[in-house]
Amino acid sequence: KEYFSVKMRASLQGRHVSGAERIVLKEDLPTVISQLSQRPKEYDSLNIKVEKINDLNYIEKSLNVKTINVKDWIEGNKVAVEILQNQGVDKKIAEKYINLIHQGAVNGENMRGAMIVNLSGERVEKDKTRGIRTVNIDFEDRKAITELLKEKGYTERTVDALALATKTLNHPDIVAEYCISDDPSYTTGYVATKTTYYRINPLKQLSNEKGGRIYFVKDTANIEDIYQYLESEAFLIKQ
């Protein structure tokens, strides 16, 4: 079977407004390209990139999803830090970088990709403005997963974020991830561990335009290998 990656990104006045990715069979390309092109509400520039995948890998199962409702984003972040601490991340280190994400990690602006922080508290991504981006990931049966998650009250964004987090945490050197959306109206965020995607609602203050991701890695992490795995290797998640 021939698989293709379809990546869409849209911007408005030079600002990124929407992005999505699918890995699909050749015969599904027309449908998927059309769907993705209709996804952003407003834009003045939209790119769709289609690339053939030569080497496709599989992940058996996505992370388990658990929702934690809290009274406000401050409380949400306390819960997030506790989960991170249970994964071996120092409290002070977790708090420092979480604060940075909430304030815009590049001089008050969002990074394009994720920050990588090791357990000693050092930032180890190669480019601190760009960060690292988890790409080339999808569910083998996206429709079924989406229906299942929507039944449980989750959103389309949960589906996309769950796929990304499942790939990210599947790397042996990555121990946990923290994420808040850069959409000012979307306040549910998550912390992912090796087994579980904890949706924390809310995890950021309503109307905050800052957002991003932090990947916490072992001190011995092979950074080159993490880039190669997250940015170049293609995976489908079976369920």
- Residue numbers at the binding site for ligand PML (CB under 6 A): 155, 157-158, 161, 179, 181-182, 188-190, 199, 211
CB of 197 vs ligand PML, minimal distance in Å: 7
The count of other CB atoms within 10 Å of the CB of residue 175 is 21
**Smaller CB distance to ligand PML: residue 150 or 157?**
157
Look at strands 137-139 and 15-25 and give their pairing. unpaired
Angle at CA 214, nearest 5°, toward 160 and 102? 95
Residue 219 or 231: the one with the smaller Cβ distance to ligand PML is 231
Q: How far is the CB of 161 from ligand PML (least distance, A)?
A: 4
Sign (positive/negative) of CA torsion 158, 159, 161, 162?
positive
Nearer to ligand PML, 17 or 23 (CB): 17
What is the enclosing helix (H) or strand (E) of 24?
strand 15-25
Shortest Cβ 182–ligand PML spacing (Å): 6
Residue 237, phi then psi, degrees to nearest 5: -95, 130
- Rounded Cα distance, 194 and 171, in Å: 9
Pair of tokens at residue 239: 């369920």
Closer CB to ligand PML, 125 or 189, in the complex = 189
Closest to ligand PML by CB, 118 vs 181, is 181
Nearer to ligand PML, 181 or 208 (CB): 181
Query: For ligand PML, which is the closer residue by CB, 118 or 212?
Result: 212
The residue to which tokens 């905050």 are assigned: 208
If you ran DSSP here, which 8-state letter would residue 231 be given? I
Q: How far is the CB of 183 from ligand PML (least distance, A)?
A: 6
The Cβ of residue 187 has, within 10 Å, a number of other Cβ atoms equal to 20
DSSP codes of every residue in 168-185: HHTSTTEEEEEEE-S-TT
Nearest distance, CB of residue 132 and ligand PML, angstroms: 15
Q: How far is the CB of 105 from ligand PML (least distance, A)?
A: 14
Q: Compute the least distance from the CB of residue 55 to ligand PML, in Å.
A: 27
Q: Which long-range contacts (CB under 8 A, 24 or more apart) does 14-17 make?
A: 16/112, 17/42, 17/43
